[in-house]
Chains A and B, each alone.
Chain A
Amino acid sequence: MTADAPHGAEAPPELVQLLTPEGERVEHPDYDIDLTPEEIRGLYRDLVLVRRVDLEAVALQRQGELGIWASLLGQEAAQIGSGRALAETDMAFPTYREHGVAWCRGVDPVNLLGLFRGVNHGGWDPAEHNFHLYTIVIGSQTLHAVGYAMGVQRDSAEAATIVYFGDGATSQGDVNESFIWASVFNAPVVFFCQNNQWAISEPLEKQSRIPLYRRASGFGFPGVRVDGNDVFACLAVTRKALADARSGQGPMLIEAFTYRMGAHTTSDDPTRYRVAGELEAWKLKDPIERVRAYMFKNQLADQEFFDAIDAEADDLGRDVRKRCLALPDPEPLAIFDHVYAEPHRLMDEERAQFAAYLEGFEG
């Protein structure tokens, strides 16, 4: 029991940061950003609204309405910053926690809840939103993303692909394989790792002996660590990485250094494996509070604005709750509908058999 600082609380020197936890704007030689007051207010609104949706989802799970929920609490800036950096034609591959990115891609939050309520398999059209379905298997989406990016490359299209994963996923074979493919084929893909310090109960020091962003150099592409609780820095770094990818400069690894303030999922109890002081240290680096402080100091918004956003958030929470509870159960035969895109003889046979079976209950 030593007197070390709480786990992960010491900000490493190589961190790209544009807005300090106290809300002070700082410069960085490689990454900078020029945002209008309107854009900043928009980012603030995004952060508050996705946190509110997340809180509602946790409550719904606690009330028995969702089977499980993976909270994004604390990771809003990493997701909104990177999500707002995407161009419309860019493609994003999420894990199961990218509720903030989904928001930026225009996916209705109720669709996310449907998955966790067990009434759909995602419920949004990935092609419509350029936002792939949630992937539950850890890290496998990195391979999908690299494949997609290589396709874009072969189409000579000017679009980038971004793929999200966590610190724990970096230990997966899939992720390392995708690094290799992306590197040797110079694929236009941005690897966006939200290092939230904990792979469920496994701390980062059991995942890596070096900072995660430095892994990239071993595979032959650049890596950078950004303050994942700084929405400005995440936006700036991701924008640059996506622009580089689109212009043929190959992949990049972004390690967003952040913290999962809640449980891994609603089935998890983090108090069993991490100390309370750690959470307290990270609360001081809250991604929303620093933007709010910055806006106050620079008179980019008044109390009326903040109150209005809070009211909008509560309305959104209520609306999401109402529509979640109204989600219909799928028809039993719907299970056959999305197995194959094209008509399929075996599926038709099985569907008919199951329909006949169900009819057996009639009368």
Chain B
Amino acid sequence: MKQFKLPDVGEGLTEAEIVRWHVKAGDPVKVNQIIVEIETAKAVVELPCPFEGVVAALMADEGETVDVGRPIISVDDGTGTAPAPASSAAPGPAPERGQALAEDMVPTPPKEERQPVLVGYGVKMGAAKRRPRKSASTPPAGSPAPRSVQPPARQDTGPFTGESAAPSVREGVRENGAAAGAAPASGGRVATLAKPPVRKLAKDLGVDLTTLTGSGPQGSITRDDVQSAAGAVPAPAAVRAVQAGEERIPVKGVRRATAQAMVASVFTAPHVTEFLQVDVTETMDAVGRLRRLPDFAEVKVSPLLLVAKAVLVAARRYPMINSAWDEAAQEIVVKHYVNLGIAAATPRGLLVPNVKDAHAMSLPDLARALGALAETARAGRTQPADMAGGTITITNVGVFGVDAGTPILNPGESAILAFGQVRDMPWVVDGQIVPRRVCTLALSFDHRVVDGELGSLFLRDVGAMLEDPLRMLAWN
């Protein structure tokens, strides 16, 4: 029986999401057969199986985010016994280098898993191999050293005690930590792991480190551990029991990315939103006429196309609207090209793919590009590259049957235009109330970059072009 542990496929990744299994328990597999697709921070990657045999179990579910080094599949290759239960305390043999990630599934306590690291394919666990440091207090050869008990003398050797402690000590700490909040072992004291600043904090706050259970790497005590102990704040217990009538949905994938992007955007860029109601009767008429032109015979012409064109023309008149705030450099990056983002509701969630170099496109090309973008998004095939590098965004909330909203900027951009539904409204034309086709535009902009005047000019011009599409020609 062999286990395949999630490798770091891209120099420094620490986790990946299981996207899709290609095999299930009971399936025969061959060496290098693609068994699973994973999505890392860098790419969707297919993993080839390192063993030949029969799949015994899939050890991670689709949609689950797995740390590098965790077993994801076990394969029965006819060479061994079933895996030992995780609680087995028997230490496994020191893993040989060649078996790094594909080692035999002889009893392997979880603590011997590889650690995710920033570079390479993970350190092998030193625990089984690192030799204890010789020290003055080492008992004479032959007398068995109590491996999980540290001589008290080590307590006084300075702040680095824990850091340089032999692995047996670390195991001791971890086992202690695994005892779920049990009081520290009374017989024989265990070295506490904590970094010097944390030790100082503990001293300042009068917290005895040895009474704490570390939540950091290798069971080390963190700043938070010390602070919560000092404030007698109870450690957050598992209070995630599902209440009746509630459902808990894990936040991941596009939902998580969206949440992060929105929070980042709202808390970095001061948003201002302005509204403008416009009579788009002429635009709707123009849409109908464009559809009859042979150049547009093969492509979809929608009001969005003319809104997009109006935004492109206006962005050319006011380049600052199409710029980005570079916090690190303390500069405003004015983009003289437009990668026009279109917010799209897709099967995967909200995505904002963009049309690259939209400013340089003819109207039929733009229509084609918008059509292709929508189709790709609907099919759920939008690639990360399609979403990168946007400079300004349009969100068509009108398709949901609403008039307006206060859109949140796509991070890295300075403006986003929401385009509401087009509907018949009473409108005053030449002193007469007549029914006209009207819609509401809402423009949010980053007030660090765009002043109210500029935002207003931009929005006014977009509106003017939609009221009279001929202005697009005049201003282009």
Contacts and interface: CB of A to CB of B under 8 A. Distances in A.
Given A63-B4, A271-B383, A361-B133, A1 B357 contact: yes
Interface in B1-31: 4-11, 31
Interface stretch (A125-133, A230-238, A249-257, A323-331): A323-331
Contacts of A119: 97
Contacts of A59: 32, 48, 50
A118 interface: yes
Contacts of B7: 61-65
B385 A273 contact: yes
A272 B11 contact: no
A343 interface: no
A317 B122 CA distance: 24
A1 B361 contact: yes
Nearest to B42: A269
A1 B369 contact: yes
Nearest to A275: B385
Interface in A90-131: 118-119
A362 interface: yes
Interface in B321-378: 355-357, 361, 365, 368-369
A363 B369 contact: no
Contacts of B141: 363
Interface in B91-137: 97-102, 119-122, 130-134
A65 B114 CA distance: 13
Among B47, B48, B355, B365, chain A packs the most CB atoms within 10 A around the CB of: B48
A66 B385 contact: no
B121 A64 contact: yes
Contacts of B130: 361
B121 A65 contact: yes
Contacts of B32: 55-56, 59
A362 B134 contact: yes
Contact of A63 (B101, B122, B388): B101
B325 to A, nearest CB: 24
B428 to A, nearest CB: 41
Interface string A39-68: 000000000000000011001011111111
Interface string A155-167: 0000000000000
Contacts of B138: 363
Interface string A270-282: 0111000000000
A326 B365 CA distance: 56
B165 interface: no
A266 interface: yes
A321 interface: yes
A326 B355 contact: no
B140 to A, nearest CB: 10
Contact of B97 (A1, A67, A328): A328
A299 interface: no
A218 interface: no
B309 to A, nearest CB: 15
27 contacts: A1-B357, A1-B368, A59-B32, A62-B45, A63-B48, A63-B49, A63-B101, A64-B6, A64-B8, A65-B7, A65-B50, A65-B101, A65-B102, A67-B11, A266-B9, A267-B10, A267-B11, A271-B43, A273-B385, A328-B97, A329-B97, A359-B134, A360-B133, A361-B130, A361-B133, A361-B134, A363-B132
Interface of B: 4-11, 31-32, 42-50, 97-102, 119-122, 130-134, 138, 141, 355-357, 361, 365, 368-369, 383-385, 388
